[in-house]
Amino acid sequence: MDRIFSGVQPTGNLHLGNYLGAIRNWVRLQNDYECIFCVVDMHAITQWQDPAELTANTREVAAAMIAAGIDAKKHIIFNQSQVPAHAELAWIFNCVARMGWLNRMTQFKEKAGKNRENASVGLYAYPVLMAADILLYKGTHVPVGEDQKQHLELARDIAQKFNNDFKTDLFPVVEPLIFGAATRVMSLKDGTKKMSKSDPSDLSRINMTDDADQIAKKIRKAKTDPEPLPESTKEFNGRPEAANLIGIYAALSDSSVEDVCARFGGEPFSTFKQHLADLAVSSLAPMQEEMRRLMQDTSHVDAVLADGAARARAVAEPILGEIKDVVGFLSP
Ligand code: AMP
Ligand code: TRP
């Protein structure tokens, strides 16, 4: 049976890139796979999180998943820290993964910045916990944005080394699922940087909690170039902002980038931005309204997470038992 696992960190400012690159695709996969979606609060604390904000952001991500249309009764939505087996398997995998593998992780280098000595040990081991998340459920398919590709390759390496070392076929091969026009939504202020929760400029991203006026204003102020809209993708070279805005339009309208170029090519950005703002506002509004409603109803969201965690534990515990057995851990 194919099983999907994916996660989002509750680190605030859930944005259009998270929605188009990840959550929206998950909604579309739920008819074909058994799905487990996780709010990865243990990953979040690899960098400092204010405790009250971490709690609020955990509910916000869960609300976004529910509001986007994930069926929490048929599938599982939960927060990672409610299932202790993630930490247990991460420890075993810490002893499988090699320092050399982790030293190659580009996300660690980006996040740690210049002061690497001062990064948390958790930030360094982050991809190992991510491998544990997926393999704890023998997940086979992982829908993510493009930035997570390297981490998924590491998860494959860990699974394969474990299987080899212990002469078992316990873990499946993990397949990334990366699709759509918006696998990498870029900053509205700099088309060469990805849209990110941690960008200091709020104008760089469309937050899922932004209202219509904020969305329209951010699109109006988005960086462009002086040329009119490109007429085909061939003209994207050296025009990352144009490519990004067209990519967002294509994703939101479920059309191809070529079709958007054919429709708007030659028009000035001011006209296109008006269309893009209207499209963004109208396509995000229903989900945003439901999200706002859910964020008022914290007891409902908490109950969904608790129920999801109980069902996640029921799947994870027998698999962890099997893993411990293979490793040779004595248990009664
Ligand atoms: P994170 O915010 O790092 O927890 O990411 C949650 C999910 O959103 C992952 O699947 C990421 O790959 C995806 N994601 C994050 N930022 C972007 C972006 N700018 N464009 C597309 N996908 C993204
Ligand atoms: N590292 C992922 C991100 O930042 C979040 C994540 C944690 C994840 N565990 C996962 C994604 C397991 C997919 C599968 O986007």
Residue ranges per structural domain of the chain: 3-178+298-327, 202-293
Q: What average pLDDT does the segment 12-16 reach?
A: 94
**Alpha carbon separation from 223 to 56, 85, 226, 269, 331 (Å, rounded):** 31, 45, 10, 10, 60
Does ligand 2 lie within 6 Å of residue 174's CB atom?
Answer: no
Q: What average pLDDT does the segment 290-303 reach?
A: 97
- Predicted confidence at residue 183, as pLDDT, reads 80
Q: Give 3-state DSSP helix, strand, coil % of the chain, rounded to 5.
A: 60, 10, 35
Q: CATH topology of 3-178+298-327 equal to that of 202-293?
A: no
Ligand 1 center from residue 105 Cα (angstroms): 16
| pLDDT higher than threshold 80 for residue 146 | yes
- CATH of 202-293 among 1.10.3210.10, 1.10.240.10, 3.30.465.10, 1.20.120.80: 1.10.240.10
Q: In the CATH hierarchy, which fold is given to the domain comprising 3-178+298-327?
A: Rossmann fold (3.40.50)
- What 3-state DSSP class applies to 84? coil
Q: If you take atom 9 of ligand 2, which residue's CA is the nearest one?
A: 130
* Cβ pair 264, 235 in contact under 8 A: no
Residue 126: nearest ligand to its CA?
2
Confidence grade of residue 118 (pLDDT, cut at 50, 70, 90): very high
Residue 112's identity, in one-letter code, is: A
Confidence grade of residue 332 (pLDDT, cut at 50, 70, 90): confident
Residue 125 backbone phi and psi in degrees, to 5: -85, 0
Ligand 2 center from residue 11 Cα (angstroms): 12
* Dihedral-angle region of residue 138 (phi above 0 means left; psi in -120 to 50 means alpha; beta otherwise): left
Confidence grade of residue 275 (pLDDT, cut at 50, 70, 90): very high
Task: Map tokens 């590709």 to a residue.
Answer: 149
Ligand 2 center from residue 167 Cα (angstroms): 28
Confidence grade of residue 76 (pLDDT, cut at 50, 70, 90): very high
Give me the helices (H) in 40-176, please: 41-44, 51-68, 85-94, 99-103, 106-112, 121-135, 149-165
Does ligand 2 lie within 6 Å of residue 37's CB atom?
Answer: no
Q: What average pLDDT does the segment 14-36 reach?
A: 95
pLDDT tens by residue, 217-261: 999 999 999 999 999 999 999 999 999 999 999 999 999 999 999
Q: What average pLDDT does the segment 47-57 reach?
A: 98
pLDDT tens by residue, 174-220: 999 987 767 899 999 999 999 999 999 999 999 999 999 999 999 99
Kindly tell me the sign of the dihedral angle through the C-alpha atoms of 326, 328, 329, 332: positive
Q: If you take atom 6 of ligand 1, which residue's CA is the nearest one?
A: 8
Does ligand 2 lie within 6 Å of residue 43's CB atom?
Answer: yes
- Predicted confidence at residue 145, as pLDDT, reads 87
